[in-house]
Structure 1
């Protein structure tokens, strides 16, 4: 019965948001940001194709224009976990904006990735103890993990299976009034009921790892793998 209720909630989410199988399919009315990640070597800004102006500064170590025969994207090289020095050039940073905070809205982050590695924070806004809450999508042990931390509590979902198989996968991390849901390749992988409350912080969106870390007391959790695109939706 609980699984059926989760499926119903997932269906509701599909009604509220486009399935976002590609950035072009995202519903323009609910789209807050679309990052196609089509930039090539030498470019320093990640363009927001939504028209809302949420462009991101690309770190010098991010591999741009990575073409694998089917798609163009970014590559993040593997860095040893919890080993100084920090590598801020490994990150992409998008300035804070209310569009990128869930607030009290339904909210979804969807991305397409490919990796053979088993750790790293893929995208986040805020960190574990910052005022105003935070959201994050990471891949510890090769299993996508979706976290929303708000004024009413935290819900973290962990995929029951790994996707670090070197193939492309679409991962979606969604927050509804009814709960939080994790979908992989269009299928519900995990869900939990509960309201996380307001999430609204002053931090930039960080892609590729944590922005505030020292690799000693706080690991930077740098992502290793490829990214094809990311969308952010809110309604």
Structure 2
């Protein structure tokens, strides 16, 4: 894996927010189901289980900034419900889940878009197709896991995280990193990088409401370096941190429920048009309940 040093997550977030996120009209279900060419598979890295964190603690750790390291998983009883580090690449177009509770990610593409699994140091990361001048005909690809009750937190505490690397030139609008659901249709949780500011953003859309809620990172992440982005819903608070630095927070209604029948998608909301596709690199994604 290729990730940054990460300190214990703090949600003592100080900057009030509440700015609604823009719901991309391209958030329609994917329209193609072609499987991308799988990378050569290697054995997934083994990990050591440790005790369940009392709060949402990022399971990924590193020995040095900029150097890949072996991530340490919480025990499966810690409600880690999905985890992917890409060290094993893809076998027959599928990336294995390491949590013991999640489904594999399936490669989906359009116009021959490919996801490559690239070695850096002792780990590997997923690289998504580049942006191009004709977004409706460019090669596109994303990763998809089927609908799973563990990924529908309802009103429960929920954390989702990823290591991201991209440049400002790789932004062709908002770049969706990972999400489940669609704003305005059911409900949604999402992580994205905004096209205007290059900042990371965590978004929640509640079931039965047209309103979206967003927490925004304190600084841009589209600078060509690896950054660890963590989104966390705790009670009625939605917060974000990047490399352990807290960003804004926003208050959710007590009844804000996230529960939908959509798949979880990584690297874009769909394969139609430009679709807010992600054009950078990703590593060590996870989702955790509680």
Does TM-score exceed 0.5, indicating one fold? yes
Identify the TM-score tier after normalising by the shorter chain: 0.7 to 0.9
User: What residue number does 1:148 align with?
Assistant: 204
Q: Secondary structure at the match of 1:146?
A: strand
Distance, in Å, in 2 between the alignment partners of 1:8 and 1:143 is: 16
Q: 1:34 deviation in Å?
A: 0.8
User: What residue number does 1:24 align with?
Assistant: 72
User: What residue number does 1:113 align with?
Assistant: 164
Superposition pairs of residues 1-235 of structure 1, within 5 angstroms = 7=12, 15-22=54-61, 23-26=71-74, 28=76, 29-40=78-89, 43-59=92-108, 61-69=113-121, 71-80=123-132, 83-85=135-137, 87=139, 90-116=141-167, 117-118=170-171, 119-131=174-186, 133-141=187-195, 142-151=198-207, 154-195=212-253, 197-211=256-270, 214-215=272-273, 219-235=274-290
Following TM superposition, where does structure 1 have runs of at least 4 consecutive aligned residues deviating by more than 6 angstroms? none
Q: Deviations over 1:38-63 (max 9, x none)?
A: 23366411111111141111135343
Q: 1:154 deviation in Å?
A: 2.9
Distance, in Å, in 2 between the alignment partners of 1:203 and 1:17 is: 24
Q: 1:27 deviation in Å?
A: 5.2
Mind listing any 5+ residue stretches in structure 2 that lack a counterpart?
Answer: 1-9, 15-52, 62-70
Q: Secondary structure at the match of 1:7?
A: coil
How many residues are matched? 221
Q: Secondary structure at the match of 1:79?
A: coil
TM superposition score normalised by structure 1:
0.83
**Do 1:21 and 1:170's aligned partners in 2 also have CA atoms closer than 8 Å?**
no
- Larger-Rg structure: 2
Q: 1:82 deviation in Å?
A: 7.6
Distance, in Å, in 2 between the alignment partners of 1:15 and 1:96 is: 27
Moved more, 77-86 or 198-207: 77-86
**Do 2:231 and 2:238's aligned partners in 1 also have CA atoms closer than 8 Å?**
yes
TM superposition score normalised by structure 2:
0.68
Q: 1:8 deviation in Å?
A: 7.3
CA pair 194-59 structure 1, distance change in 2 beyond 3 A: closer
